Structure 1
Amino acid sequence: MSLSNSPFPPIADYAFLSDCHTGALVAPDGSVDWLCLPAFDAPSVFGNLLDRGAGSFRWGPYGINVPTSRHYVPGTNVLETTWHTTGGWVRIHDALVMGPRKGTDLVTPHTRPPTDDDAEHLLVRTAECLDGEVEIEAVCEAAFDYGREPATWVVTGADDGAHTADATGDGRTVRLNTDLSIGIEGGSARARHVLRKGERAYCALSWNHDLTVPDDVDDAFARVGRTIGFWRDWLARARIPDHPLRHPLERSALTIKGLTYMPTGATVAALTTSLPETPGGERNWDYRYTWMRDTTFTLQALHYLNLDWEAEEFMQFVADVEPREDGSLQIMYGVDGRRDLTESTRDELSGYEGARPVRIGNGAFDQRQNDVYGAVLDALLLHTRRSRHLPRRLWPLVKTQADAAAAVWRDPDQGIWEARGKPQHYVSSKLMCWVALDRAAQLAAIRDDPERQQAWAAVAEEIRQDILEHGVSDRGVLRQHYDTDALDASTLLAPLFGFLPDDDERIRATIDAIDEELTENGFVLRYRTDETDDGLAGKEGTFLICSFWLVSALAAVGEMDRATALMERLLAIASPLGLYAEEFDVDRARHLGNTPQAFSHLALIQAAGRLVLHERLAELSL
């Protein structure tokens, strides 16, 4: 926990809750500082994460802000916090609750087949006094549309003690319900009550279509209990090896599932927007969307964990999205599949620790990034091999993406990191175009289409030769782009996608150069900002996905001691709750960027899988 004087809690200290429709971040003091309703990319109702006046919802002991312990109920995304006060002890559970599906979801309609359990569109917070007596308080300061519109509160049910109040703003109403008596003070709803040993209380916020709330404290505790059961039943389906890496694998699996939008099968890149890559700087982006480049990493992780249902849902989402006029896919889409993610700024918000602007939407959505084709087609091949079936509706996607990659691979683009500078011939983009044509050729063989197989394989080889001619420096290291000798961590994708044999000297030289020259305190940078025109000012932290990629690359070339040592360093910097943001600032040993970051957790799963596999194979060879 940070000792700084910042009014903002450290990014790593936030707990992540999810109901697979939206997510919440809970600060150590018991305040929900981030919740967008009704979906991940909707406007926030609690936005204190980005401005200390943009809405929050605290549930905890009055006058005590530092808990004794915080952890997830094992195997779940349900938070358990224990508090010691001057008068006693209290235990609190927080959950975005799940329950048996009851008809059609009118709040966030589904396009995927219904499941037995679904979100109840309800945040439930319970408290149980363990010893002595504790004064518990609820303070709900809803502020709609990212804090622009403070709530108008109306207390209902006054005849039975004023246990319910509705907050309205920006055309939306949410309902606060508790077994404490509610009073309205300014723009907030408040309640306080002394609990004695063995007594229980609850507080709930509802945004379901009829604003249903728990019947009573027993019902509230039962809903949390069912949610615990939901997550544990789901995790029981995953294949998690009995290994020291079991716990980070489980937490990463739960995080990826928690970032999945159940109605469509999409996975958001992160829960948040505008958490800074550069403290106090402008490198602040909205990550509440689905990136097509995540497809292959998502499929690799889901299939490794034996979560084939989620993999199928995600592939169907990819098949459903609307392509551009040339048949190619955008680099990102909304969780509902929408194409227009026009970026705007909310200049009235202070930003996290002064990092401005706060961005809503992502201006990179219409960039040309040639890596997207390879990500999609690698995912399709992986999924086809796993399911032993290439669905008829996916074959047209193979053709359009392969043909688009063949048409554009010679063109410059913005690269995997969405640089806002001049387009360049990025090696990683060429590499992923090679992946696209190589995988398309293999899919054509499965489809028994020898003509396309040969044509696509020929283009793949042409791309390979072009990279080897123009993308390798004089010292035998893969470049960032054709006009520089600067390093870029994205070239670690070469060994991960089998571009060259693992024992090729250029692969080993690239891995060694990145390990030795593109790291800070042992953690990997994307690139050095003073060597790269990315259109932005300021420095950034090390990128966690790049460090996990280096673990995988080292394992791929047999450098197991180095791979294991780096993995141990990465595990040591996980948040207190086992989560990872986008970046790690080595100077102050803190997490930076949006959180929790799907890419970081996906890369952890891939790296862990390679380490475990190497150990298992070594055991078999004894």
Structure 2
Amino acid sequence: MTAVDTAAAAPPAAGAVSPFPPIAEYAFLSDCHTGALVAADGSVDWLCVPSFDSPSVFGALLDREAGTFRFAPYGIAHPTSRYYRPGTNVLETTWRTPSGWLVVTDALIVTERTGDCEVTPHTRPPSDYDAAHLLVRTARCLKGEVQLELICEPAFDYGRTPATWTLAEGDCSIAVADGAGQTLRLHSDLALGVEGGRVRGQHVLRAGDNAYCLLSWAAPGSTPPDEERAYAMIEETTDYWRTWLAGARVPDHRWRDPLQRSALVIKGLTYMPTGATVAALTTSLPETPGGERNWDYRFTWMRDTTFTLKALHWLNLNWEADEFMQFIADVEATEDGSLQIMYGIDGRRDLPETTREDLSGYDGARPVRIGNGAFDQRQNDVYGAVLASILLHTRHSRRLPRRLWPIVQSQAECASRVWQQPDQGIWEARGEPQHYVSSKLMCWVALDRAATLAEIRGDSTQAAAWRATAEQIRADILANGVSERGVLRQHYATDSLDASTLLAVLFGFLPPDDERLGRTVDAIAEELTDNGFVLRYRTDETDDGMSGKEGTFLICSFWLVSALAAVGQMQRARDLMERLLAVASPLGLYAEEFDTANGRHLGNFPQAFSHLALIEAAARIILAELMQEI
């Protein structure tokens, strides 16, 4: 390889100017079937249709040639302001140009259901509102005059197949794109023209003028809305989100806004047809700039179940909680009766991982991965996550559904069989299996919660058996998982720290005043942080099968907030919480990681886990403050 080739292959410097927008500058849209990311310049750089885990039709997020859709002023890339309509996932962007002012509104449409969904069929009872499978974009000139430009350039199958466009005969306001077995229909009141694989339109708007465009992937034969209906659909979508949010219990507190935004993100990442929640909207956004820690997160992780149920029930979103639990009840177990660590949002088990060498990756981070090879890993934490969520749901619903009891039995028995075996751990390490403390801990959670559920069911014999195994696991952890200085280890063969041991505090493994918990919390806060934010582990001390460093993990930092609150260090908890809230994206969103050296978000975006942990951390502090007032 020549010196020129080597330079071209090297990852970009941290502070280098990049053609890729910063991750935190993207806005998130959702119709609860799929989601889109809109860059600050007005380009839709990520959209998979018809569902979250479908191949992308706009994939410029991962390669600047993999498809984009811009509806914005010509020649102007930096807007004056961007914000969500309060209480919604509807985006409004205001632009100042040399000759005028323009506001653009973007929404993935949710409207009243008119019949069965043929595009993404439901396995859960459909609600009164559902996705229309439309992206609607409107523009209004506020003052002066503005030249509006539309560029729609889809590239199907993650950029592999350019679109073939045809204009409607005798009507240059309708264009149809075909490719890789998919069809998109574009309607606009701008005159459209085909330029190779893209459609372009432009028009000068003067004060008071409006323009619109819509992109449809609805079922063949459906009639896309006209201009008047398109505008009305944005208002209906606004009403939908506000009505939904009104049903959430959000306290009147200084953190009300981030709690509401987190609730809207979690709902937006929920796949309405099945009740599943994707871990994030995207794939292969790097955890290390220019590195190889790039994963596909468009699936449902069983380890997220407890955190999801906690957040939903705390927000009084009991319908969503029940939908999610029914999805868990539906998934197919493996041959030994255990649940996989993750499933497709439609419940499928097979999620083979492939790489796309034809894509540059976000800012040069390769490989780009589709699917996730960790789906068949052994992770012993899954049993505790599932059974803790069932107990949470049982307590809130005041009943243990009959269809959930077999899951309780099978997962408790699986945990009993495997708790003494090594595994890959909560972080899905691709190194050698180890006796991870957090995995043992979650097996303890599995048997402890299963015993409580058996007591609720009136089965005292089974409860006693499971309780005995739980105590055996606890004794093993305390004998082998605590270092000489009284701190929980990452795994039995090391004294290294791991943020996942904070789960011992969050799941009540020991009393809050136990010195070992306090020392663990203090050690992580003081030794496993970067500028006060928490790392998962030190990559130079952990065989995770990968190279390179990674940023601080936002979920781990929020876990530390919760742990500090639980052990009574309320002021430290508040201080860290305020710092975390201050690094949210301009629109209140969080990725997976935060690079403290450069102040930027890293990893897939928006990340459900980060927002779920935010809700729990805020809830613990708010509850403590309310108790002090009594």
* TM norm structure 2: 0.97
Does the CA-based 8 Å contact 1:179-1:216 persist in structure 2? Answer: no
Taking the aligned partners of 2:232 and 2:15, their CA distance within structure 1 comes to: 37
Q: Name the SS for the 1:293 alignment partner.
A: helix
Identity, in percent, stands at 72
1:182-331 aligned within 5 A: 182-210=192-220, 212=222, 214-331=224-341
Does the residue aligned with 1:202 lie in a helix, a strand or coil?
strand
> 1:454 matched to which residue of 2?
464
Distance between the aligned counterparts of 1:581 and 1:442, measured in 2? Answer: 35
Aligned residue pairs, count: 617
The CA distance in 2 between the partners of 1:52 and 1:495, in whole Å, is: 44
Match of 2:391 in 1: 381
| Counterpart Cα distance in 2 of 1:251 and 1:15 | 12
Corresponding position: 1:567 with 2:577? yes
Pick aligned residue for 2:29 from 4, 17, 25: 17
Aligned-residue offset at 1:114: 1.1
Instruction: Check whether the contact 1:90–1:127 (CA below 8 A) recurs between aligned residues.
Output: yes
Q: Which AA in structure 2 matches 1:566? A: L
Q: Tell me the distance in 1 between the aligned counterparts of 2:324 and 2:231.
A: 32
2:435 is matched with 425
Residue 122 of structure 2 corresponds to which residue in structure 1? 110
1:77-103: CA deviation from partner (whole Å, max 9, x where unpaired): 000000001111011100000111011
> Contact (CA 8 Å) 1:266, 1:290: kept in 2 or not?
yes
Tell me the equivalent position of 2:412: 402
Q: Structure 2: how far apart are the matches of 1:279 and 1:64?
A: 28
Q: Would you say 1:128 and 2:126 are equivalent positions?
A: no
Query: Hey, what does 1:166 align to over in structure 2?
Result: 176
Residues 174 and 211, structure 1, Cα contact 8 Å, conserved in 2: no
Q: Which runs of 5+ in 2 are unaligned?
A: 1-13
Distance 1:372 1:479 in 2: 20
CA contact (8 A) 2:283 2:296 kept: yes
**Residues 363-412 of structure 1: per-residue CA shift (max 9 Å, x gap):** 00000000000000000000000000100000000000000000000000
2:9 maps to which residue? none
Residues 296 and 376 in structure 1, CA contact (< 8 A), matched pair in contact too: yes
| TM-superposed deviation, 1:67 | 0.3
Change (3 A) 1:215 1:400: closer
**Distance in 2 of aligned mates of 1:393 and 1:211:** 39
Separation of aligned partners in 2, 1:264 and 1:89: 42
Q: What's 1:507 paired with?
A: 517
Provide the secondary structure at the position in 2 that maps to 1:145: helix
Distance 1:334 1:178 in 2: 35
Contact residue 206 and residue 212 of structure 1 kept, 8 A: no
Taking the aligned partners of 1:216 and 1:91, their CA distance within structure 2 comes to 20
Partner of 2:41: 29
- SS at 2:107's partner residue? strand
Kindly indicate whether the alpha-carbon contact (under 8 Å) linking 2:137 and 2:214 is maintained by their aligned counterparts in 1: yes
- 1:285–1:362 Cα contact (<8 Å) kept: yes
Shift of residue 215, structure 1, vs aligned partner: 3.6
Which position in structure 2 is the counterpart of 1:144?
Answer: 156
Match of 1:392 among 396, 402, 427: 402
Tell me by how many angstroms 1:212 deviates: 4.2
User: Would the aligned equivalents of 2:61 and 2:362 in 1 still touch at CA under 8 Å?
Assistant: yes
The structural deviation recorded for 1:3 is: 8.4
Equivalent AA in structure 2 for residue 56 of structure 1: T
Correspondence for 2:4: none
Distance 1:93 1:4, change over 3 A: farther
Which of these residues, 377, 381, 405, is aligned with residue 371 of structure 1?
381
Give the corresponding residue for 2:73.
61
Asked if residue 81 in structure 1 is aligned to residue 93 in structure 2, the reply is yes
Provide Cα deviations, 1:184-228, integer angstroms capped at 9, x if missing partner: 011100000011111111011000003646543322111100000
Superposition deviation, residue 4 in structure 1 = 4.9
Pick the aligned partner of 1:342 from 339, 346, 352.
352
AA partner of residue 262 (structure 1): M
In the other structure, the counterpart of 1:476 is 486
Rounded to whole Å, the distance in 2 between the matches of 1:335 and 1:59 is 31
From 1, 13, 19, give the equivalent of 1:7. 19
The residue identity in structure 2 corresponding to 1:62 is Y
Structure 1: how far apart are the matches of 2:469 and 2:165? Answer: 63
Q: Do the aligned partners of 2:25 and 2:40 also contact (CA within 8 Å) in 1?
A: yes
CA distance in structure 2 between the partners assigned to 1:530 and 1:118 by the alignment: 47
In 2, distance between residues paired with 1:3 and 1:232?
39
Q: Distance in 1 between matches of 2:328 and 2:559?
A: 24
1:346-369, CA deviations, whole angstroms, 9 ceiling, x for partnerless residues? Answer: 001000010000000000000000
Quick one: structure 1 residues 177 and 3, their matched pair in 2 at CA, closer, same or farther if it must change by over 3 Å? farther
Q: Partners in 2 of 1:269 and 1:322 — Cα distance?
A: 19
Q: Deviations over 1:160-188 (max 9, x none)?
A: 4x111010000010101101111001110
Does residue 1:414 correspond to 2:410, yes or no?
Answer: no
**Contact kept? 1:582, 1:596, Cα under 8 Å:** yes
Mapped to 2, the partners of 1:402 and 1:113 lie a distance apart of: 30
- Equivalent-residue separation in structure 2 for 1:301 and 1:181 (angstroms): 47
The residue number in structure 2 matching 1:96 is: 108
Task: Answer yes or no: is the 8 Å Cα contact 2:45–2:58 preserved in 1.
Answer: yes
| Counterpart Cα distance in 2 of 1:393 and 1:573 | 42
Contact 1:164 1:177 in 2 (8 A): yes
Matched residue type, 2:325: M
Query: Deviation digits for residues 593-615 of structure 1, max 9, x if unmatched?
Result: 00000000000000000010000
SS at match of 2:336: coil
Query: For 2:111 and 2:173, how far apart are their aligned partners in 1?
Result: 23
Q: Is structure 2 residue 474 aligned with structure 1 residue 464?
A: yes
Q: Is the 8 A contact 1:284 1:355 kept in 2?
A: yes
Letter in 2 for 1:301: A
Structure 1: state its 5+ residue gaps: none
* Counterpart contact for 1:412–1:425, Cα < 8 Å: yes
Q: For the residues of structure 1 that align with 2:167 and 2:346, how far apart are their CA atoms?
A: 34
Counterpart residue identity of residue 326, structure 2: Q
Cα displacement (A) at 1:159: 2.2
In structure 2, relative to structure 1, the CA distance for the partners of 1:75 and 1:213 (3 Å cut) is: farther
Q: Give secondary structure in 1 for the equivalent of 2:184.
A: strand
Asked if the contact 2:292–2:367 (Cα under 8 Å) also holds between the matched residues in 1, the reply is yes
Equivalent residue letter for 1:395: W
Preserved contact between residue 48 and residue 55 of structure 2 (Cα < 8 Å): yes
Opposite residue 214 of structure 2, the aligned amino acid is A
Q: 1:588 to 1:517 in 2, by over 3 A?
A: same
2:51 corresponds to: 39
Q: Measure, in 2, the Cα distance between the counterparts of 1:142 and 1:63.
A: 21
